[in-house]
Chain A
């Protein structure tokens, strides 16, 4: 029953990756932002919560609310207004450099102003284990899977079924045309940034109780989100979900059955293979090339 355990914990990790990858992909779609700080975006909200509890003396639930609000403001609004907007018209690369610098800023900021050591983060649910058919499964992992999948499905529903969601999709596919049709493109892009901020905050609150909150947490997470987004398909929400889940499971299987040393290499081979042989991703549509 070891396999079941590995699969469940793989899916839990994968569900987190999926949350982060979906946000990453939404930003890319609507504003051509390749966010190299996405991993640090996941690291930071946990420290907002810890800071609110430590310096504000707030109870945990209130701190979570404050953490979410701060994430929306800092990682959503301020990120867009201060960094992305001024640079958008200058192409992808200057913005890439800025997000790299932003990642460094967040990492060093947390290290300097909060703590360099890993911080325990209160669990949202109990740490108990369930025994199902001989397999030991942690409640945490199950909760992560349920919450993350629910969040992503809700987002999928929002994008496909509501008026605002469809306007956001129109903005992503053809901003000029969307504007002519009366979509408030600027506002839709802002919504995307807010959704990304909410997704990374959720991922942060789910993952920090397990892996502890540490300033350097973002490095592996950001990389995993890239790979998940590309493997699944850069232009589809469901692609990013599939990519995230697949990556989590493959990562856990590789660690258990192949080699812990080269565990990090398996997702990379997956990435290279997908880009070379199916660049639109496993579930993505081919992008049209302009001459």
Chain B
């Protein structure tokens, strides 16, 4: 009875059930794709915190996915670390580097910040490509093992998918708590008007660094899952293209909306695959679709949904007012 009054909760429960049963009806490539969707959602959630909630434009998210991926790959494949340790270290390492990257954000804003973080992504890419001793250079690192957790092997596609889904669920829950906490409100204050926020006593310096660090840590978490998912990594996927792609996910889904990144990741990861039936044209159609989407709804898919739903809700009020007027 309580659930019936909350359509949102019912819908979420249905989505959760669909996500849990999904691997049963899918071929291995399909399972791989929804695992990739989960991983990219995590990275996009991180960027949505930095960009959508705290208003700090970052084009560095790909670098953190890369750092996380290489961290987990090197530790598990070369040094035989357990996955849990490598995973935790990837998150902590990205948190620390993200914190440091926040310092430029204290000095510069908007497009300048975008360019600094863009340069950072390219520098990280160059290091990954050139430091062959550690990263294997352009040959990359192969044979990254999928972990066994508490005696449960995730070697199979569906098993690893459930691991990704579990991490996504935990990240989602933590993020949900975060954006509703005083911290989340401080982030939004930072986005809306940093000067006013600081005059109201919000420590903008600390929260700017925090926004970067937490968002980056989530990038690292996504990377730590990416490496065992693909089982082979080289520097190419972590170049600027991925940063732009993650930015696309956040903006297309709806920047600053909690569920934006999930939708955006669908558009970015799954839409190109669905378009593959058009053969060589699929990326062209994809590009046109994104442009059209931005022209029609610049606030993203969820912004469009809100725009379509809101007037419908307000209509009775307006009608009542119209009746009362004469």
Contact = CB atoms under 8 A, between A and B. Distances in A.
A38 B110 CA distance: 19
A276 B107 CA distance: 7
A87 B294 contact: yes
Contacts of A291: 195
A92 B255 CA distance: 13
Nearest to B107: A276
Interface in A213-265: 223, 226-227, 230, 261-262, 264-265
B115 A94 contact: no
B111 A34 contact: yes
A126 interface: no
B119 A271 contact: yes
B139 to A, nearest CB: 15
SS class of chain B's interface: helix, strand, loop or mixed? helix
Given A36-B244, A275-B116, A102 B287 contact: yes
Given A97-B290, A104-B283, A108-B287, A279 B108 contact: yes
B244 A100 contact: yes
Contacts of A96: 247, 251
Contacts of A93: 57, 247, 251, 255
Contacts of B120: 272
A226 B114 CA distance: 11
Contact count band on B: 35 or more
Interface majority SS on A: helix, strand, loop or mixed?
A: helix
A34 B118 CA distance: 13
A112 B107 contact: no
Interface string A194-218: 0000000000000000000000000
A59 interface: no
A275 B284 contact: no
A226 B115 contact: yes
A275 B111 contact: no
Nearest to B115: A230
Interface stretch (B122-130, B157-165, B226-234): B122-130
Given A261-B130, A262-B126, A276-B104, A86 B295 contact: yes
Contacts of B280: 112
Contacts of A271: 115-116, 119
A7 to B, nearest CB: 25
Interface in B120-172: 120, 122-123, 126, 129-130
A279 B122 CA distance: 20
A101 B287 contact: yes
Contacts of B283: 104, 108
Contacts of A57: none
Contacts of B287: 101-102, 104-105, 108
A109 interface: yes
A174 to B, nearest CB: 19
A279 B112 contact: yes
B251 A264 contact: no
A268 B118 CA distance: 9
Most A CB contacts (10 A, CB to CB) among B111, B195, B287 go to: B287
12 contacts: A87-B295, A93-B57, A96-B251, A101-B287, A102-B291, A105-B284, A226-B118, A261-B126, A261-B129, A276-B104, A279-B107, A291-B195
Given A87-B294, A226-B118, 5 more contacts: A87-B295, A94-B298, A265-B122, A271-B116, A275-B112
Interface of B: 57, 104, 107-108, 110-112, 114-116, 118-120, 122-123, 126, 129-130, 195, 240, 244, 247-248, 251-252, 255, 280-281, 283-284, 286-288, 290-291, 294-295, 298-299
